[in-house]
Amino acid sequence: MTRPAGEAELRPVIVTVDDDPSVSRAISRDLRRRYGERHRIVRAESGEQALDALRQMKLRGDQVAVILADYRMPGLSGIEFLERAMDVYPFARRVLLTAYADTNAAIDAINVVDLDHYLLKPWDPPEEKLYPVIDDLLLDWKKQERRPVNEAKLVGHRWSAPSAELRDFLARNQVPYRWYASDTDEGRRLLDAAGTDGTHLPVLITADGEPLIAPTNAEVAAKVNLATVPKENFYDLVVVGGGPAGLGAAVYGASEGLRTVLVERFATGGQAGQSSRIENYLGFPDGLSGGQLTDRARRQAVKFGAELLTTAQVDSLEVNGPAKTVRLSDGTQIDAKAVILATGVAYRQLTAPGCTEMTGAGVYYGAALTEAEGCKDQDVYVVGGANSAGQSAVYLSKFASSVTMLVRAPSLEASMSYYLIQQIAGIPNISVRTCTEVTEVNGDGHLESLTLRDMAAGTTEIVNAGQLFIFIGAAPGTGWLDGVLARDDHGFVLAGPDFSLDDTGWPLDRPPYHLETSVPGVFVAGDVRAESAKRVASAVGEGAMAVMFVHRYLETLS
């Protein structure tokens, strides 16, 4: 599906997918008749074929305005195709073509894939049943003023921690890029054009052709137009952390009229944003990826007027009477009336010998979805027994020859949701080894094998391993709050009834609100809170609830 010679490159695309050739030709004909002069019409006869076309158009920087897909198709159904198409073109308008008998399925799809419309077949006459719908969708799409997307080029080493981190940073911040290994012909050509011999990697060539040699995340963020500094000096609300709890707080804070800024050190979404599939989130019966959830939440927050800062590392929190001061590592100071701490948690480090040396070279913490395609035909290991580990194992099983889950506990039941346990049991290339731990990580420049210990039998064995993904509990990373507010012995922030008013010197006559910390006007939400539920839905709920208590607190100041 290449662009015909001489065709105008800036014409937005309308994509249609139907496995029935006659129907495919008919809708393509009707669309060309009305829109052919101003839009390029691309038709496909399978979901996979259409996805390939969308990916090619993405690489070329084409704009896709509307995607129409038949509901009943072999292989990928219309709903499954549209859901995957959202990851490539999230702003394209989505239409499901369906027979009358499938109307209920089309209505259900509205929540699953943010369906914009469904059309009953046949649509004759198109002047009454097709064109008015497409006209409205095109008008709505044009209001978004989406420009053609130019991709950056990233050149790095396959087994390099800095290269892996930058790939993850770009992907999780929705920055289009194309990866080139430094030892390939094209990679070497790009390095030569950038004026470097590849000694210092990775090298990012921005969409406008500027080379960045071994850049920091902050340098990259500034070049790809991610906001890194606040627009104002004073806000009603500062949200620290961009996971589900932080995004929930930003959406509700901004939508309710609070001047809101969210400060995130790496990428919005947190651990949930790395999840390949979240299937127990209310309202999405077929599940959605963490990236999809994060992208929608981020767009919601921005739509309501919240500022989102990336690569902004918070170093300290100061209390100056009713004002709160958040200081960033670059010296920036943000003052606000209230603060919500939603920093989440970070995966604990595996202490087995060799693990540190192999991090980024076959060993990864969290899902590291950018590495999934590199798992093809390999034996992959996942350490951990909670939902994040299980979701990663399910996703990686689509690429890897085998996926082995290594769990220290005697079973998964105590730490993993029942639906996920059942799903794992039904996937033939996933195996679960309980009472097992990694005692050594081995390899020459990259991961090659693991030494495993059977904790029950006391025996060890060496297994070949292509990649290792680690999910072994979490630490809150709240050291920067030392001496400021109350935390438990593990560093999780105490709130409401969980701390002693006498021990913390609570200064007010009223008791603290439910999510309020030992400092009035500073609230906590999500995984960083002591005794939190550690689930996406509860984190989002706590973010919204914290905003309600912020309003109560602000009323006491007036």
Contact 50, 13 (CB under 8 A): no
- Angle (CA) 108-112-115 rounded to 5° is 80
In a domain? residue 5:
no
Task: Report which of residues 110 and 430 the model is more confident about.
Answer: 430
According to DSSP, residue 342 is labeled -
Q: Check pLDDT > 50 for residue 3.
A: no
Residues 338 and 483 both lie in one domain:
yes
Task: Report which of residues 496 and 405 the model is more confident about.
Answer: 405
Residues 468 and 507 both lie in one domain:
no
Last residue of a domain, one of 111, 143, 175: 143
Q: Which DSSP string corresponds to 39-76? A: SEEEEESSHHHHHHHHHHHHHHT--EEEEEEES--SSS
Residues 238 and 162 both lie in one domain:
no
Q: What is the pLDDT of residue 88?
A: 80
In a domain? residue 553:
yes
| Tens digit of each residue's pLDDT (9 = 90 or more) over 234-288 | 999 999 999 999 999 999 999 999 999 999 999 999 888 878 788 888 888 877 7
Count of other CB atoms within 10 angstroms of residue 539: 29
Q: What is the pLDDT of residue 215?
A: 96
Residues 187 and 243 both lie in one domain:
no
Residues 271 and 334 both lie in one domain:
yes
Residues 340 and 481 both lie in one domain:
yes
Contact 238, 340 (CB under 8 A): yes
Average pLDDT, the chain: 89
Q: Tell the residue number behind the tokens 């194309």, with chain if given.
A: 178
CA 255 to chain centre: 22
| Tens digit of each residue's pLDDT (9 = 90 or more) over 147-168 | 555 678 999 998 999 999 999 9
Question: What's the Cα-to-Cα distance from 459 to each of 33, 175, 407, rounded to whole Å?
Answer: 72, 46, 16
What is the mean pLDDT of the segment spanning 44-68? 87
Domain span including residue 247: 234-345+476-557
Q: Check pLDDT > 60 for residue 202.
A: yes
| Tens digit of each residue's pLDDT (9 = 90 or more) over 449-458 | 999 999 999 9
Last residue of a domain, one of 434, 454, 474: 474
Burial class (CB in 10 A: 0-12, 13-18, 19+), 231: exposed
CATH code at 64?
3.40.50.2300
CATH code at 295?
3.50.50.60
In a domain? residue 4:
no
Residues 130 and 202 both lie in one domain:
no
| Tens digit of each residue's pLDDT (9 = 90 or more) over 158-196 | 899 999 999 999 988 888 888 999 999 889 989 998 999
Residues 171 and 119 both lie in one domain:
no
Count of other CB atoms within 10 angstroms of residue 129: 14
In a domain? residue 229:
no
What is the mean pLDDT of the segment spanning 309-321? 94
According to DSSP, residue 498 is labeled G
Nearest to 252 by CA among 485, 529, 539: 539
- Angle (CA) 346-349-350 rounded to 5° is 145
Q: Check pLDDT > 60 for residue 101.
A: no
**Quick one: pLDDT band at residue 104, thresholds 50, 70, 90?**
low
In a domain? residue 96:
yes
The structural domain count of the chain equals 4
Residues 35 and 100 both lie in one domain:
yes
Element at 379 (helix H, strand E): strand 379-383
Residues 327 and 437 both lie in one domain:
no
Residues 65 and 207 both lie in one domain:
no
Nearest to 61 by CA among 6, 13, 5, 114: 13
Last residue of a domain, one of 423, 440, 474: 474
CATH code at 162?
3.40.30.10
pTM score, whole prediction: 0.74
Residues 290 and 334 both lie in one domain:
yes
